[in-house]
Amino acid sequence: MDRYLIRGGKPLNGEVEISGAKNAAVAIIPATLMVEGVCRIENIPQISDVTLLLNILEEMGAEIRTINRNTLDIDCSMVNRTTAPFELMRKIRASYYLIGAELGRFGRAEVAMPGGCDFGVRPIDQHIKGFNALGASVEVKNGMVYAEAKDGLVGGTVYLDVVSVGATMNIMMAATLAPGKTTIENAAREPHIVDLANFLNSMGADIRGAGTSVIRVYGAGKLTGGFYSIIPDQIEAGTYMCAVAAAGGEVLIKNVIPKHLDCITQKLIEMGVSVTDLDEAVLVRRDKPLQRVNVKTMPYPGFPTDMQPQIVTTLLKAEGISIVTESVWDSRYKYVDELKKMGAQIQVDGKTAIIEGVECLTGAPIAACDLRAGAAMVIAGLCASGETIVEQIHYIERGYEDIVGKFQALGADIELLRDPMDPESKPVLRAIS
C-alpha cells in the first residue's frame, strides 16, 4: 500500500507555493461544459480529484490539451452525451456539479450520486430544491440522479434552508443560461463561490452578488471561450500554516490571498503564532509555546470545517485544554482514534472535541480516513518524535498537490513509499498531449 514515512521533530523553514483551489477547480471544470469554445484555465491543481473530473469530461467527448503543468485548454463544444461511466462519477463528491452544468447546457442530466469523504449523511436536497425552482424535475434511483427540464430551465427564486456551498454553486451554474432572473437566497459565501461566478462571468454570464448571501443570475444567451486563472487554495495554505504552528520554524507561504486566510490567521495569532500578511503571501513563525484556544467551525467567513482536523492536531501542542466545536458536519472526528495512537489526549462528545495539550506526540503507524484528516495525520507525524507511517494516502492526494515535495523543501523528513501493487497507486499528473 502507498504510504508516507515521516521522521518527525524537525522545524519547518523556507518557502512554499500554494496551488490553485481544489474546491474552485472541481466546480469550474464541470462548468466548462456550458461553454462553446476553448477555455484556457490556469492554476489548476495537480490532484487526483481534478484528474478524475477531466477523465469524466473526456469520456463525454471533451477535448483537453495540456499547455503546461497547471494550465489546460478544455473544449466541450463537441460534447453530446449527458452521462459518463458510473464508476468514475461515484468516486468524487464534486461530480454533483455535472448535474447543474448538464442541465444548463442540455436541459437534462444523468449523474451518479456523489461520493467523497465520509462525514456522516451528505444530502443533496437543497441542490434538488434549486433545480426544481428552475423548472427541472429530479428523480434519484439506483444510485443515480436523473434531472430533466422538458420545457427548458427558466429563472426562479430559491431560499436555501441550510447554507450549502455545493447547492449554491450548482444552482448558480444551472441558472447561468436559463432565461430570466434567478435569485439564490441564504447563499454560501466561500471564496470558491466568487471564483466560479468570476469564471462564468468572464465567459459571458451575468452573475451578481457572489460572496454575499443573495446571488442574482440573469440568464445569458450563451457562453464563449476565454482565459481564466483559478484562485489559490485557502485550505492548502491553512494546512501549511498549521504545520508551521505545530512543528515550529518560519515559512513564507506564497501565492495566497491573505484576506481568505483571515479566519485561520486570527486563530493562530490567538495561539501565539506570528502571522504577517504580505501582498500575495503570509509569513508564519512559531518560536514560543502555543496557547490554548476554542474554535467553532462555521461557513465562510467563519473558521472552515475543512481546517478542523488540522487545528485539532495543532492544539495538541498547545498548553492547556482547548475546545473545538464542529458545526457543519455531523461526523468529522473519525480521525481522532488515529491521533490517540500517537499519545493524543482528545475526548469527543458529539460535535465537540476536548483537546489536552501533550508534552510530545510519538510516531506510530496511522491511516488517513479522509482528505483533511489525512493532512492532519501528516502534521502529527511532522511534530512527533520518531517514525510515523501514514497509510491510505490516496485520500490526501485527492486534494494536496505534491505534499511530500513541498514539505521536503521546508526541511521535513518525509518520503513517499509507492507500492506498485496498490490499485490506488498512480501518479495524478496528466501526460502532455
Binding site for ligand EPU (CB under 6 A): 23, 26, 93-94, 117, 122-127, 162, 164-167, 188, 305-306, 328-329, 371-372, 399
Min CB(286)–ligand EPU separation in Å = 24
Q: Which is nearer to ligand EPU, 122 or 285 (CB)?
A: 122
CA-CA distance, 156 to 327, in Å (whole number)?
A: 30
> Cα 406–407–409 angle (5° rounding)?
65
Which residue is at the shortest CB distance from ligand EPU?
A: 166
117 is catalytic: yes
Rg over alpha carbons for the chain, rounded to the nearest Å, is: 21
Q: What is the dihedral of CA 139, 163, 95, 74, to 10 degrees?
A: 130
Phi, then psi, of 284 in degrees rounded to 5 = -115, 130
Q: Which is nearer to ligand EPU, 15 or 161 (CB)?
A: 161
Q: Give the nearest distance from C-beta 22 to ligand EPU in angstroms.
A: 6
| Shortest reach from residue 127's CB to ligand EPU, in Å | 5
What size, in residues, is the chain? 433
Q: Of 117, 242, 263, 369, which residue is the catalytic one?
A: 117
CB 7 within 8 A of CB 386: yes
H or E, element range at 17: strand 12-17
Nearest C-alpha neighbor of 389 from the set 409, 415, 371, 410: 415
**DSSP codes joined into one string, 363-381:** --EEE--SHHHHHHHHHHH
Cβ atoms of 112 and 141 closer than 8 Å: no
What single letter denotes the amino acid at residue 53?
A: L
Nearest approach in angstroms of CB 234 to ligand EPU is 10
Going by the DSSP 8-state scheme, the letter that residue 210 receives in this structure is: B
Beta carbon of residue 398, minimum distance to ligand EPU (angstroms, whole number): 8
User: Residues with Cβ < 8 Å from 242, sequence gap 6 or more?
Assistant: 264, 268, 307, 310, 311, 313, 314, 379
Known catalytic residues are 117
